[in-house]
Chain A
Amino acid sequence: MKKSILSLILASLALLPAVKAEKLVLKGSDTLGAKLVPQLAEAYRAQHPGVTFEIAAEGSTTGIAAIIDGTADIGMSSRRAKPTEVATAGANGVKMFPTVVAWDGIGVIVNTSNSISALSKRQVEQIFTGEVTDWSAVGGKAGKISIYTRNTASGTYADFKELAMSKHDYAGSAQKMAGNEQIAAEVGKNPSGIGYVGMAYLKAPGIKAVSVDGGLPTQASVQSHSYPLARPTFFYTKGAPTGLVADFIHFVLGADGSKIVDQVGFVPMK
C-alpha cells in the first residue's frame, strides 16, 4: 500500500514538467512595467494561452540587476546600462543585450490651474535644481514651487538629470515619490506643484504638460527627436534573446505590439 502511494507520487512528479506552463519573468522600470508591459503581456497571452507572466516594476536598476543575477528573463529599463553594470555582468559571465522597445518622452507637468504653459530648458533646470523657488521668477503667479521627483533607483530620475538638468543635483526641497502615478497625483492636487512623468501618464487628471524649449512631448516630436526630453527604453536580456523571450520581443516590436505601445502613450520604434 505504502509503496503504491510512493510510486504514484513519483509518477506525478515525473509528469510535472510536461504540464508546467511556460513562464516569463520581467523586472525593472516602473515607467515600462506599470502600464505598457502588462498590456503587452495580456495581448501576448491571448495569442499564446500557455504562457504566464511575472512582472515586477520597481525601477530600472532592479531590472538590470535581475539580468545579472539571473532572476529575470527580461530586465526592463528606461536607461542604458552603466559601464559598472556591464562589467559586473561580464564578471558573472553574462553578456547584457539591449533591445530598444519603444521611445518615451519625459513630460514636465504642472497643475491645470497653473498659468504657465511653456518653459525653457534653462528654466526647467533652474526649477529642479532649486535655483528658482518661486513661480513668479518664471513668469507665473507668485507662490512657492513644490518639486516632485522619482526616487533614486529610477531610470527616469537619472535620465531627467541628464536630459533636463545638465547633470546637476535635484534641489533639497524635492519630494521623492515612488512612481509616475504618485507624481501625477500629487501635481494634480497641488496648484504650485511641478514634476515629470513618462508620456503614458500625461493624461492623469488635474495635470498638463508644459512645453520645453517650445516642444511638447507628442508622438511626432519624440519620433523626430525634436523634443529635448526624449529617450529610448530597453529590454535587457542575457545574451541575444532566444526561444520564448525572443518570441515575446518579436511580438512587442511587431504590428500588434506597436499598436499597444502607441495606445499606452509610448512611441513605437517605427
Chain B
Amino acid sequence: MSAKTDIKRLDQRPMHEAVLSKNKFRILGLSMDQIIHYFFFGNAWIAILVLGLITFSLFREGLGFFPQNYENLQMYRQCGLEFVDIIKDQAEAHSALTQYLDKMLDRKNGELRKGGMDEGKIAEATAPLAQFRKDFDESSIPLQDFVRELTQQAAAVKERWGVAKENSIAREQYLKAGSKDEAAKLEVETVDFRKESEALKAQIPRLVEINQTLKKRLGLLLLEFPASDDPKLKSQAVHFKAAAGKYINAFPDTERKLANWSYDTTIPVHETLTRFLFGPQWVTQSFWQDWYGMVPLFVGSLAVSVVALVIAVPLGVGAAVYINQVANIHEQNLIKPFIEFIAVIPSVVLGFFGVAILGTAIRDFSNGILFDPAWVAHLPAFIQWLPSGLNAAARTLTSWVPFFPISERLNIITAGILLALMGVPAIFTFSEDALNNVPKSYKEASFALGANRLQTILRILIPASLSGIISAVLLGFGRVIGETMVVLLCAGNRIQIPDFTQGLGFIFQPVHTMTGLVAQEIPEVVKNSLQYRALFMLAIMLFLISLLINYIAQVFVRKFKISVG
C-alpha cells in the first residue's frame, strides 16, 4: 500500500526526476546523461581539433616559402639577373614612350576615320607622326641588342647554377641510397659568381657609349617632332617631350646604379616577406626569374568583391527593409524563400552560366548587339525591323561609353555580377536580423511623433540597425572574397593589376584572384616546390583576410547590441 502512494503523477514529480527517471540503463558504466554529455563535449572538441590541425598544416606548408624564396632572390642577385634588369628598365622606359606615341597615333587615326576620311588620306595626314614614331622606336635598337646579349649571358650563369644545384641534390640522394658509382658520375660545378659578375660589370662602358649616342640621336629627333594644330595632340606632344626629357636625363642614374651594383650585397631577410606582400608581379615557371608578389591577385580579388558588393548591398539591404517593414505576409512568404533559394544554387552552375551566357551577352551589348544578327536574318521580313532597330539603338547608346566596345568576355564585371547574386542571400538574411533586433518601441515612438513610414525607416530603423547592417555587408564580403568557382571560370584569369587610368572602365578587364589561382594550380604544381609553397602562402593570406573580416563584423555586432540597450 505504501509503495503505491510513492508513485506520483508526472505533474506532481520534481522536474529533474520527471526528465531523468528513465535513465536506468548504463553502457560501459556510463549513464545516459553522461553519454550525452561526452557526445557533445567530444564533438565540440573534435571540431576545434580539426580546425587547429588544418591551420597548423597550412602554416607548416606555407612558411617553408620564405627560406626558399630567399634563395630564389639571392640567386637573382648573385647570377647577375638583377644587374641586367637595371638596363632592362631603361629599355622598357623607351618602349613605354613608343607606346605613348602609338596611343597618340591611334587616337588621331580613329578621329579621322570617324570624320569619314578614307584610309589613304588618313595615312597621309598622320605620316609625319608615324615616321617620328618609327624613328623613335628604331633609335633603341642598339640598346635592345645590348640587353638581349646581357640577358643571355646572365641566364647562362643561372642555368649553370641550376644544373649544378640539381646535380648536387641528385648526388646527395644517390649517396643516401648507397649507390656511390652513380654519385661519382655526377659532376657538380661551382659557379664563380665573382668572376661572372665582373664579366657583366665590364660591359658598363659599352652601355655608357650606347647611351651617349642615343642621347645625341634623341636630342636631334625631338627637335623634329612634327607640329600639329590639333590642340589635343599638341598637349600630348608637350607631355611626350617632357617624359622623353626625363627619360634621357635618367641615363646617368642607370649607369651609376650599375656601377654601384654588387653581386654579394646581402639581401635583408624581411625582404622575402615584403616582396610577397607588396610585390607587383606574380611570374612563375620563368626561364629568367620567378616573382611571387601577391598584389595583382589581391587587387583582383578585391576588385571583383567590391564590384559584387556595389551590386549586392543595395539589393540585399533594400530587400531586407522591404520584407521587414513594408511587405505583407503573402509577399514575405513568396520573396523570402526565393532569396534564400539563391544561396543553394551551386557556384559552378552560376559560373557556367557566366561563361556560356552572361559574358558573351555583356560583350555583345558593348558592341551594340542586343540580338544576334544571324538570328535576326532568319526572322520573317516584316518583323525584322524591331530587333535591328533595337540593335541600332543599342549601338548609338553604347558608342557614348568611353571604354566600349570591350573585347574580353570574361572580366571583373561578369564575375562580379554572379558573385553579387551569391552575396545577396547573406546580406539579406543578416540585415533582416539586424532590423528585427530594433526594439518595437523605437518604431512606435516614431509613429507617435507623427512620422510616416518612410521617415521612420530612413531616420530611425536604418540608423538604429546600421552597425548590424554593416556587419551583414562585411559577412557578405567575406562570403564573396572566398568564393572560387565563379571567379575561376568568369574573371578571365589574367595576372595583372588592372589599368585604373581608364576610370570605371577597369571593370571590363580580366583579373586573376587569390582563390582562383590556388584552385587552378594546386592540383598541378610540383609538391614542395617554391610555387607550391607560394600557393599555400596565398591560402594563408585568404585565411587571415577572412579572419579579419569576421572579427570586424563581430566588433560591429557588439557595438550594435550596446546601442540597443
Contacts and interface: CB of A to CB of B under 8 A. Distances in A.
Interface of A: 58-59, 61-62, 65, 83-88, 90-91, 93, 131, 133-134, 142-144, 146, 151-154, 157-158, 161, 167-169, 172-178, 186, 189-193
B544 interface: no
A51 B174 CA distance: 36
Contacts of B106: 134, 142
Contacts of B493: 151, 175-177
B512 interface: yes
A84 B166 contact: yes
Interface string B331-343: 0000000000000
Contacts of B288: 167-169
Interface stretch (B47-55, B372-380, B521-529): B521-529
A151 B95 CA distance: 27
A91 B531 contact: no
A88 B499 CA distance: 42
B473 to A, nearest CB: 31
19 contacts: A62-B523, A65-B526, A83-B163, A84-B169, A86-B170, A87-B169, A90-B182, A91-B170, A91-B177, A93-B177, A142-B106, A144-B407, A152-B525, A152-B531, A153-B521, A175-B493, A175-B494, A175-B510, A186-B410
Contacts of A84: 166, 169
B496 A65 contact: no
Contact of B527 (A65, A83, A133, A161): A65
Given A143-B407, A146-B407, A178-B520, A87 B494 contact: no
Given A59-B524, A90-B182, 4 more contacts: A85-B526, A91-B170, A142-B109, A176-B512
Nearest to B488: A178
Contacts of A157: 285
B102 interface: yes
Contacts of B407: 143-144, 146, 190-193
A110 B391 CA distance: 27
B362 to A, nearest CB: 12
A51 to B, nearest CB: 26
Interface of B: 95, 99, 102, 106, 109, 155, 163, 166-167, 169-170, 173-174, 176-177, 182, 281, 283-288, 360, 407-410, 492-496, 510, 512, 520-521, 523-527, 531
Contacts of B95: 131
A169 B286 contact: yes
A189 B520 CA distance: 22
Contacts of A190: 407-409
Contacts of A176: 493-495, 512, 520
B408 A146 contact: yes
Nearest to B174: A90
A161 B287 contact: yes
Q: Can you list the 8 inter-chain pairs with the closest CB atoms, starting with the nearest?
A: A153-B524, A91-B173, A87-B170, A167-B287, A172-B496, A59-B524, A83-B166, A176-B493
A100 B520 CA distance: 28
A133 B99 contact: yes
B409 to A, nearest CB: 7
A131 to B, nearest CB: 7
Contact of B173 (A85, A87, A134, A143): A87
Contact of A151 (B360, B408, B520): B520
Given A133-B99, A157-B285, A169-B286, A175 B410 contact: yes
Contacts of A174: 494
Given A87-B173, A93-B177, A190-B408, A158 B520 contact: no
Contacts of A65: 526-527
B9 to A, nearest CB: 46
Chain A CB within 10 A, most for which of B281, B409, B494, B531: B494
Contacts of B174: 90-91
B360 A167 contact: no
Given A61-B526, A152-B531, A90 B173 contact: yes
Chain B CB within 10 A, most for which of A133, A161, A173, A191: A173
Nearest to B283: A169
Nearest to B516: A176
A85 B182 CA distance: 16
Contacts of A189: 360, 409
B495 A87 contact: no
A179 B163 CA distance: 30
A172 B360 CA distance: 23
A67 to B, nearest CB: 13
A151 B173 contact: no
A190 B525 CA distance: 29
A85 B163 CA distance: 12
Contacts of A58: 523-524
A220 to B, nearest CB: 31
Contacts of B527: 65
A186 B510 CA distance: 13
Contacts of B283: 169
B205 to A, nearest CB: 27
Contact of A173 (B182, B494, B520, B521): B494
A62 B523 CA distance: 8
Contact of B496 (A144, A161, A173): A173
Given A142-B109, A168-B287, A62 B524 contact: yes
A210 B216 CA distance: 41
A143 to B, nearest CB: 7
A144 B102 CA distance: 12
A235 to B, nearest CB: 19
B85 to A, nearest CB: 12
Contacts of B494: 172-176
Nearest to B285: A152
Nearest to B109: A142
Contacts of A169: 283, 286-288
Nearest to A131: B95
Given A91-B176, A158-B285, A167 B155 contact: yes
Contacts of A86: 170
B185 to A, nearest CB: 11
Contacts of B182: 90
A21 B136 CA distance: 70
Nearest to A161: B287
Contacts of A178: 520
A183 to B, nearest CB: 11
Nearest to B359: A189
A176 B489 CA distance: 11
Nearest to A85: B526
A58 B523 CA distance: 8
A142 to B, nearest CB: 7
Contacts of A193: 407
B102 A134 contact: yes
Contacts of A161: 287
Contacts of B286: 169
A191 B409 CA distance: 11
A83 B187 CA distance: 13
Contacts of B360: 189
A256 to B, nearest CB: 31
B541 to A, nearest CB: 19
Contacts of B524: 58-59, 61-62, 151-154
Nearest to A162: B287
A177 B288 CA distance: 22
